[in-house]
Amino acid sequence: MQLKNLLLKVEVLSFCGNPNIEISDIVYDSRRAFAGCVFVCLKGNSEDGHDFAKDAVKKGAVAVVASEKLDLEDIVVVYVENTRKSLAIMSAAFFSYPALELLTIAITGTKGKTTCAFMMQSILKFSSIRAATIGTVGVVFDDEIIKLNNTTPESYDVQKYLRAMVDRGYECAIIEVSSLGLKWHRVEGIFFDYGLFTNFSSDHIGENEHKNLREYLECKSMLFRQCRKGILNLDDENFNEILKDHTCEIVTFGFTKGVDFLASNSHLLSKSESLGVRFNLSGERNLVVDVSVPGKFSVYNALASIAVCCQLKNRIPDKAIILGLDKIKIRGRVEVVKTPFDYILMIDFAHNAISMKSILTTLREYKPSRLIVLFGSGGERSKVRRLEMGEMAGKFADFSILTSDNPRSENELDIIDDIRKSMDKTGGNYVVFPNRVDAINHCVRIAKRGDIIVLAGKGHEDYQYTKNGKEHFDEREIVAAALKRVINCTSQNDA
């Protein structure tokens, strides 16, 4: 493809060289540059792509897109105002605008993005509509998962995966659009059919994320100037702020009368191997819905998912909604792990104070004999987060097991000591097992009839970041091995 065709919708400030040059691919990491590519200089938190432009040229890049003056000779250089935005627009052109061939759904919100994505995918599946997702778990093509480093990957990769969806015969793309994904233009150039807002609360404030809560909120609101129809949670106190300067049609959901999709009469469901919730749906659809995910927040996620899917009108039968939500299982989101014993053990991604309080207060409503939580806190991250998590566990769990969770270069004992400070203030009961495998083994050994046990923090992750780098670590495998040992030990004692 000629460079000029990649730049048709890009706001070019100046151009040096031949616009007709053939481009083999677009690269934004100089280490991956090769003959015939165009290199786009992106500024990150710690590195600036402009510093690596010469490296990319040495490896064969025939053109460079930059926002700062470069000292390059005999090479095509395109100067633009914003290289991230330009990368997104160029990538859409390079992959022949795949979003135009798909039904596109974008989800933003502090919590619930992944759950909603899986719920929608499940409802659409029972409607015979093939949907793939891009988000926290990865790129999900039916049973195939491609891992990602970010909830919303870089714009080039978004376009690449959208093209793959088209080529594989998918009809719908569901994308978790993080606030940082919007801030850094990772979905620029896509005008979504539907944009969903789940909720808003304080998170992602810091040096490498958002400078304050106002910016965080403003970034999320960007989606509703980039979609045809917005589906929003009317019960969220930030509803009006999210809609500021919006350009889309509006559909609402919640527990407040007057919304388009209204939930009422919600109550808990407790089964031998799962926890869930039932509610009445009225408004544009009238149904009784069972959701195989516990808690009131699951009603909101289910409502949101129903509201989006129902925009497809008669393509979504009532039966698909009922089956899609009753059969749902979401990896790492209050995911129940089957055991042969009379207690419930689950894996959840709760990794901050808000999500920790939410999961524990939700599970408390199911009246367990004991509510036990195993957790740690990430290394090289805010110390406030680990203190707050300890406080929530101390207040809302009967017993806590403190352990490691992606300690990175930090000593896990130092992290645990920080958690203990806030735990001690609450008077909460806890034990310490710095090794997470040992901690999980202890959980399984002490579990009793009627307990609910939550392994919090890792969720969908199947790795652990330590001082040695990224290591394989799947809690499902560790739980299975621990259960096997307990079963064998019980069998030997019975003999």
Instruction: Tell me the average pLDDT across 380-404.
Output: 96
**Region 79-108 average pLDDT:** 98
> Does residue 135 register a pLDDT over 90?
yes
Q: Residue 207: which pLDDT band, with cuts at 50, 70 and 90?
A: low
For residue range 280-289, list pLDDT tens digits in order. 999 999 999 9
> pLDDT tens across 410-459, in order?
999 999 999 999 999 999 999 999 999 999 999 999 999 999 999 999 99
The mean pLDDT value for 140-165 works out to 95
Instruction: Sketch the domain layout of the chain as residue ranges.
Output: 3-94, 98-326, 335-494
pLDDT at 208 over 80: no
Average pLDDT for 290-303: 94
Give the integer Cα–Cα distance in Å for 267 and 279: 7
Work out the percent of the chain whose per-residue pLDDT is above 90: 87
When the pLDDT of each residue in the chain is averaged and rounded to a whole number, the result is 94
Residue 110 has pLDDT above 90, yes or no: no
For the residues 280-301, what does the mean pLDDT come to?
95
Cα separation, 411 vs 467, whole angstroms: 8
Q: Give residue 115's pLDDT.
A: 94
For the segment(s) 3-94, the CATH number from 3.90.380.10, 3.30.420.40, 2.30.30.40, 3.40.1390.10 is 3.40.1390.10
Q: What is the mean pLDDT of residues 112-122?
A: 96
CA dihedral 326, 327, 329, 333 (to 10 degrees): 0
Residue 282 DSSP code: E
- Taking domain 335-494, whether its CATH number is 3.20.20.100 is answered by no
- pLDDT above 90: residue 329: no
Residue matched to tokens 């025939």: 62
Looking at residue 194, the DSSP 8-state letter turns out to be E
CB 403 within 8 A of CB 430: no
Q: Look-up: residue for tokens 């792990």?
A: 337
In the structure, what pLDDT confidence band is assigned to residue 88 with cuts at 50, 70 and 90?
A: very high
Interval 31-41: pLDDT, tens: 999 999 999 99
pLDDT at 493: 67
Whether the CB-CB separation of 137 and 460 falls below 8 Å is answered with: yes
Assess whether pLDDT exceeds 60 at residue 121.
yes
SS (H, E, C) the chain: CEHHHHCCCCCEEEEECCCCCECCCEECCHHHCCCCCEEECCECCCCEHHHHHHHHHHCCCCEEEECCCCCCCCCEEEEECCHHHHHHHHHHHHCCCHHHHCEEEEEECCCCHHHHHHHHHHHHHCCCCCEEEEECCEEEECCEEECCCCCCCCHHHHHHHHHHHHHCCCCEEEEECCHHHHHCCCCCCCCEEEEEECCCCCCCECCCCECCHHHHHHHHHHHHHCEEEEEEECCCCCHHHHCCCCCCEEEEEECCCCCCEEEEEEEEEECCCCEEEEEEEEECCCEEEEECCCCHHHHHHHHHHHHHHHHHHHHCCHHHHHHHHHCCCCCCCCEEECCCCCCEEEEECCCCHHHHHHHHHHHHCCCCCCEEEEECCCCCCCHHHHHHHHHHHHHHCCEEEECCCCCCCCCHHHHHHHHHHHHHHHCCCEEECCCHHHHHHHHHHHCCCCCEEEEECCCCCCEEEECCEEEECCHHHHHHHHHHHHHHHHHHHHC
The total of other beta-carbon atoms located within 10 Å of residue 179's CB is 26
How much is the pLDDT for 210? 52
The pLDDT score that the predictor gives to residue 204 is 47
C-beta separation of 246 from 218 below 8 A: no
Please check the confidence at residue 68 and state whether its pLDDT lies above 60.
yes
Residue found under tokens 């969220």: 236
Homologous superfamily, domain 98-326? Mur-like, catalytic domain (3.40.1190.10)
Angle at 186 (CA atoms; ends 181, 187), nearest 5 degrees:
100
Judge whether residue 46 has pLDDT over 90. Answer: no
Higher pLDDT, 204 or 218: 218
- Taking only the tens place, the pLDDT of each residue in 230-266 is 999 999 999 999 999 999 999 999 999 999 999 999 9
Whether the Cβ atoms of residue 154 and residue 28 lie closer than 8 Å to each other: yes
Q: Map tokens 């101390």 to a residue.
A: 394
Stretch among 124-128, 217-221, 370-374 having the lowest mean pLDDT: 217-221
H or E element in which residue 444 lies: helix 436-446
Distance from C-alpha of 168 to C-alpha of 390, rounded to nearest angstrom: 45
Give the span between the Cα atoms of 455 and 367, in whole angstroms: 18
